[in-house]
Structures are given as structure tokens and as C-alpha cells.
């Protein structure tokens, strides 16, 4: 039987890479753990994903866009976005 991980161990693993784990308890490898990367982005990741190398999507340019971000980008170019919802690219 595999040994159950502790929140202390998981926290140390995040800290080794400059991340701050915000989660206060560890339940299982699929639980979404809140963290802050070294650039201040707040994200969530499961322990399984973390072990596979998944890190901050913002820093890796893989973050999902929000309607607010898209609206701001349109405004920068002098346009007004009429759409109220953003699904994907």
C-alpha cells in the first residue's frame, strides 16, 4: 500500500520551485491545490498534474483567456468589444 502524502511534504515540493502552497490540507492526488507562483499568479493544480510537470499556466502562456482580458486588448487597439461572453479562440 502506498504511503499517504502529508501537506508538509507537498508544501516543501512546491517551495523547491519557488511556489507558495496556499492549501491547508492534502486529501488526495486529484484534489486541486491553490498556489501562488513566483510571479504572483494564483492558480490551482492537482498533485498528479504537478508531478507530471504542470506549472503556472500564465507563466507558460497557456492560461485560458477571460472576457475582461479580451475586452482590454480590443480597447488597446481602439475598438469596443460588443460580445458579453468569451468561449475560446
pLDDT at 42 over 80: yes
pLDDT at 29 over 80: yes
Beta bridge partners of 33: 45
Confidence of residue 84 (pLDDT cuts 50, 70, 90): confident
pLDDT at 78 over 90: yes
**What is the domain extent for residue 43?**
7-58
Instruction: Indicate if 54 and 80 belong to the same structural domain.
Output: no
Residue 53 lies in a domain: yes
**DSSP secondary structure code for residue 20 in this structure:** E
Instruction: Indicate if 32 and 50 belong to the same structural domain.
Output: yes
Q: What is the chain's mean pLDDT, rounded?
A: 89
Contact 44, 37 (CB under 8 A): no
Residue 78 lies in a domain: yes
Instruction: Indicate if 54 and 69 belong to the same structural domain.
Output: no
Instruction: Indicate if 67 and 54 belong to the same structural domain.
Output: no
Contact 63, 89 (CB under 8 A): no
pLDDT at 68 over 70: yes
Q: What is the pLDDT of residue 67?
A: 86
Amino acid at each position: 500500500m502506498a504511503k499517504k502524502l502529508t501537506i508538509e511534504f507537498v508544501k516543501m515540493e512546491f517551495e523547491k520551485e519557488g511556489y507558495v502552497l496556499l492549501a491547508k490540507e492534502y486529501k488526495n492526488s486529484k484534489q486541486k491545490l491553490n498556489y501562488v507562483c513566483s510571479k504572483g499568479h494564483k492558480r490551482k493544480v492537482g498533485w498528479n498534474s504537478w508531478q507530471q510537470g504542470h506549472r503556472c499556466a500564465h507563466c507558460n502562456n497557456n492560461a485560458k483567456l477571460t472576457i475582461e482580458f479580451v475586452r482590454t486588448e480590443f480597447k488597446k487597439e481602439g475598438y469596443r468589444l460588443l460580445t458579453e461572453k468569451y468561449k475560446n479562440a
